[in-house]
Amino acid sequence: MSERVKPDSLVTLRYRLATADDVTLVSTFDSAPATLQLGNGELAPPLEACLEGMAAGERQTFLLEAVQAFGPHNPDLVQRLARRDLPEGDKVAVMSMVEFASPDGAAFTGLIRELDDDSALIDFNHPLAGKGVRFEVEIVGIL
């Protein structure tokens, strides 16, 4: 029996992540494969779970509903902030990502949804929260 992907495997793979309506977000099928250490946060846990049990040479497509993929969109994570409090000040634009530092030094990212002279509407949800995804994967090797 060939080796299968486990929760802590080092895996070389080609993958494509797309929206539920098949708009590609990222793909490695036309480039070098990626090598990822599962369990280290390099790939979202729901996507890692899809890989478990696959063997080298195997290719599958997984359709994940919003709650399975990146969770529901939480309206409490959308906040209006004063523009002067934005880390990048005047360099921000609508639909750009901005990184913030928490009091404990951790970094977190928000997407600017709206912007005016005085404030910005920041969405701290994962950009794919509330959306289903299509995850196509081919396992090249298991190390």
Residue 26, φ and ψ in degrees, nearest 5: -155, 145
Residue range 10-71+128-142 in CATH 1.10.287.130: no
Q: Which two three-digit tokens encode residue 118? A: 């005085």
The answer to whether 139 and 56 are in contact (CB under 8 A) is yes
**Among residues 58, 61, 62, which one has the least CA distance to residue 141?**
58
pLDDT average per 10 residues of sequence, the chain (143 residues): 88 95 93 95 91 97 89 94 81 88 87 93 92 96 93
**Which CATH architecture is the domain 75-123 placed in?**
Beta Barrel (2.40)
Residues 135, 71, 128, CA angle at the centre, nearest 5°? 55
In this prediction the pTM is: 0.76
C-alpha closest to that of 110 among 118, 102, 121:
121
pLDDT of residue 34: 95
CA angle 95, 99, 132 (to 5 degrees): 55
Nearest of 31, 35, 29 to residue 61 by alpha carbon:
29
**Domain spans of the chain, in order of start:** 10-71+128-142, 75-123
Shared fold status for 10-71+128-142 and 75-123: no
pLDDT at 89: 67
